[in-house]
Amino acid sequence: MGTVSRGFKGRRPSVELPPGQYLVEDFPVLSAGPTPSIDLQDWELVITSETDEQRRWDWDAFRALPSEQVTVDIHCVTHWSKLHTSWEGASLDTLLEGLETSAGYALVTSYGGYTTNLPLEDLTDGKAWIAFRYDGEDLEPEHGGPARLLVPHLYFWKSAKWVRWIQLGDQDEPGFWESLGYHNYGDPWQEQRFWGD
């Protein structure tokens, strides 16, 4: 048909979605393990460079950083997409500011042991955040609270819940799912779900 009614109020036209995705209105919970119990008194975020230069924030220091409000579409490799999700978080550009690094890759480790890997350039230039609010509320533990990585241009398994440590390095080390069949990069618009896609 090629036409869209201006009065359309139901499912959005599929042309807004990456290939193979369907639209959801709820927010499905997917996790590789149990939700960890994280006391804010004990919470920390650490970034280390390939030369072992280290940045460390406790919760108060992290929350004192400038934050941004972003509205983004998110795409899960299990085929659901959710449009116009609203988050608040600190940009990785802010967290990495002044850190001397020539690393090409980042390995992200979460409380609970989950890991995911991505090129460092996918964390910079306004493409990634450490999010602590969703839809105006503190981020629920089941969705990664108190803080999770948000990298919306890649499949959502890259947006690690309960983020704790970002390790920059010269070697690309596959993470929890990337080491067992899932695509190393995970671009939803290229439908990079599995090895070889």
Partner 1 sequence: MTSSNRWPDGNTLTGHLLDLFRVDVTTALGRCTRCGRTAAMAEVRVGDHAPGVVARCPACDQVLLRLVHGPGRAWLDLRGLTYLQLPVPEEA
Question: Which residues sit at the interface with partner 1, rule CB under 8 A?
Answer: 28-34, 76-78, 113, 157, 176-177, 179-182, 193-195
194 CB neighbour count, 10 Å cutoff: 11
Shortest Cβ 113–partner 1 spacing (Å): 8
C-beta closer to partner 1: residue 31 or 85: 31
C-beta closer to partner 1: residue 62 or 80: 80
Please, which contacts does 48-52 make with residues 24 or more away whose CB atoms are closer than 8 Å?
48/165, 48/166, 48/167, 48/168, 49/99, 49/100, 49/101, 49/103, 49/168, 50/101, 50/102, 50/103, 50/168, 50/169, 50/170, 51/100, 51/101
Q: What is the CA radius of gyration of the chain?
A: 17
Shortest Cβ 163–partner 1 spacing (Å): 17
User: Torsion-angle region of residue 162: left (phi > 0), alpha (psi -120 to 50) or beta?
Assistant: left
Shortest Cβ 27–partner 1 spacing (Å): 13
* Rounded Cα gap, residues 190 and 186, in angstroms: 8
Amino acid making up residue 79? H
Q: Quick one: which of 139, 30, 149 has its CA closest to 79?
A: 30
C-beta closer to partner 1: residue 1 or 180: 180
Question: On the CB side of 175, how many CA atoms lie within 13 Å of its CA?
Answer: 26
Shortest Cβ 182–partner 1 spacing (Å): 6
C-beta closer to partner 1: residue 48 or 115: 115
C-beta closer to partner 1: residue 119 or 174: 174
C-beta closer to partner 1: residue 88 or 178: 178
Shortest Cβ 24–partner 1 spacing (Å): 14
Shortest Cβ 29–partner 1 spacing (Å): 6
